[in-house]
Structure 1
Amino acid sequence: MAYLIKAESQARIHKVQELLAANKLDIALVYYDEFNIGNGWYLTGWCPQFESGAVLVPGQGEPMILGGPESEPFAKLDSMITETRNFTVFMVPDEEYPNATIIDFKKLFEELTGRLGKIKRVGLVGAGRMPAAGYQQIVEGFSGVELVDITDAFVRLRYIKSEWERQQIRAAFKLADAAYDAMKAKTAKGVSEIEVAAAGEYAVRSRSASGFGFGTIVGSGARSNAVVPTASSKLLEDGELVMIGISPKVNGYAGVVGDVFAVSGSYTQRQQVAIDHLKEAFRRTKAGLAAGKTGKELDAPARAYFEEQQLSQYLVCPFVHTIGLHEAESPFFGPHSNDVLEPGMMICVDISFFGHPEFHGLRIETGYEVTAGGVIPLSPRMDAHFLDH
């Protein structure tokens, strides 16, 4: 069963076809793989395992999936786009499928010209992430065709979330609240990081999470310096801080929560100072959230605060980013960003620093829905928790 509903898929395909018309393009090829699922998932509500591929969207008519034979039956069952063609370049290397029909891009080009007429210009999405062999085969198979990179324009279609998308993200943040409770309850001396992660993952999988936006983060003590440390077999020790982060997905859309727990159950006086720095930077960032502001305007208040506190040398990540099919996706509102916060965006306030000689790495994070009248917490309880003095 597809995660994406038909009306959403059709509306998105129509937007891509409008983009093609505006740029005088005949078709679009939208690359995807397990590590770059967003652009393909946006159209299909689906991504293969093991294999990679592309969604082909013509200026008029029905789209198709270009992939490998192992994922073909999976796509026909679960994707909103079910017409498929198989290519060696998208398959598991050296695997054999003697009963599969496998073509090349020259054969596809002949089929498309017979169906659509002369093809002069093709828009590519995600070509920079595509294996060199895949790109070269497209160039050779589509001989004489102009290839145009439309990645930025395509990704901008994903900036403003539809009401259906916002519903999925709201639901994912509710799951993140459940994970938070489970992970906090599990945090204790002698428990492994993996056990803490497992508690959160079970809490959301048992509530029908469709997946995760990133590998669950549990970093205790110096391991938190890794910025995004996945859980290890290390045992938690008294006196340590534990940085946690989990990103459950609902129908492919991510929620998130990030916080810092004390293994002993309460912060020491010095640890509380570090947490207070995070919360103050959080409060200043949230106070500045407003539609119409640029990324550099959103980033400035927390950056100035960390400068005042002589902590800026430990900054790795900006403080505001959008969330959707990825836990962190474009636009990223960093210190040099001119991207504008707009109503309909779903964003996260993500405050962190890493590499501190005493506190190691710390992060707090939750999300908001942007409206013309302000921002609405996606997790009211985490919003209140981080704003609390």
Structure 2
Amino acid sequence: MSQDFKSIIKNYKEDQETVYNSWFVNNDERLKAFRSIRRGVFDVIQDIKTSKFGNDFKGSSLEFVLNCITEQKQVFKGASHPFYWKPKLRIPDIYENEENKLAFGQFLEKCINATKEEHILKEIILLDKKKIKGLGPAVASILYFLHPTIIPPFNTAIVNGFNTLFRDNIKLGSWTEYLRMREIIIEKNNEFKPYLSNDLGAFAGLLFDIGEKKLLVSDDHISEEERTKIEKKLKKRHKEVISEIEEEDLHTEMQYHIMTIGNSIGYDVIAASNDRSKCHNGQSLSFISLGKFPEIDVDKDTYKTITLIDAVWFEKGTNKIACAFEVEKSTSIYSGILRLTDLHFSFKENPPTLYLIIPDNREKEVLLQLQRPSIKNSEIKIHYILFSELKDNCDAICKFGDDKEILKKISKLAS
């Protein structure tokens, strides 16, 4: 290297006018912004859920979030521009298109609740797949304030700085390009973390200053071998995410059907605590679910287990559980049975009706599990419903059902 990367970082940190010193360190307002923006994102999600979001950027909760971000003038001075509603171009198409608006709200909800890198990257890939006009990687500047150690911000100056530093040709407006850029940023930040920070704002600031030509560099700091390796890694991850979609969507679809039925015939319904942000055909489970699992009289560990049951029906306005449902896919069927039996033994005097919702091709496996001595010889009764039966009969049950007994028409018991 004609110019050592460490020396670039050294110049960046020693110059008192760079982003590092004027924004990243010793700045209480920057730290407060994280809290304000996070609260603001929750407001955006809630406004979309309750149809209060409106059809323009101006005056919306999203404008508040972007105003908080653009107040961080250094790196984010133009962060709000991509979100201005441009009526002639119909972009970004999240104001007048209700389906896209819901998709955006659900994307934010999933990302703000995510705890792992792979979950966030998966949601980015899925959002990109929807091809919402005008909704590109400018969103990363919002995500940065939710997950600063995982998602670097994205704007023209950062891209220009990246292309200069790494002699690349990253394009604006492409999530695929953003993810490729992010991989290289992560690789290099990990390599030089002792000189920078876990918070990717430090690295983004470096790129910003290079892009604004506050720092001058003249070298390529990534080898062709590294670049090829990163490309392969990205392709593999993308393929894995896409391959999971069909199975996950089927699981969520079954949850959606059973919750829709419960709502239609007069029950309060709730999805598992880790599933409420999932959606089927643009409809989020959280939009038809109770906001919080009701308090029930069980010990803490049992309560936590019960809140992970895929779907639960409560008698309207009470904390009395009427039915509980486990939707199975590639996970062990027995683990679902265990959650249902935990629920049964917690309410032996008045047990809920228990159901497994299963793929048609796993019926024999389910029967084997339900014939285990610990199940067969007990008083526990677990019904099962095939995916095809639930899907084909959902609308009819919603229309003609009166109470939970209607499910007996499409369910079976192990003999």
Q: TM-score, normalised by structure 1?
A: 0.23
Whose Rg is larger? Answer: 2
Of Structure 1 and Structure 2, the greater strand share is in: 1
Determine which structure has the larger helix proportion and give its number. Answer: 2
